[in-house]
Amino acid sequence: MASAIGVIYSKHQTRKLFVNMQKLNKQIDELDIEWGQLQLEQSAWSAHGRIEKIARKKLKMTLPKANEIIYLKQ
């Protein structure tokens, strides 16, 4: 009788652990998707064209002319 109860308890624990593992695997998949989306977003925010557009529009920056460039040597 005691061994039967032990087997039942063991199966119950195994099922609980399996359900928990499935939840964690689902969470891993969701986090992987979110990570990919964040990487794409970071790429878009840091694109050279976007940065140049902001520099021109908001900061009123322009490319210097050739005669305005000064080279410094150390």
Percent of the chain with pLDDT over 90: 65
Please say whether the beta carbons of 56 and 62 come within 8 A.
yes
User: Any idea where the domains of the chain sit in the sequence?
Assistant: 2-68
* 49 pLDDT tier (thresholds 50, 70, 90): confident
pTM exceeding 0.75: no
Dihedral (CA of 6, 12, 18, 21) sign: negative
| 3-class state of residue 47 by DSSP | coil
Q: Where are the alpha helices (DSSP H) in 1-74?
A: 2-45, 48-57
In this prediction, residue 30 carries a pLDDT of: 98
Whether pLDDT at 20 is above 90: yes
CA distance from start to end of the chain: 88
* 48 pLDDT tier (thresholds 50, 70, 90): confident
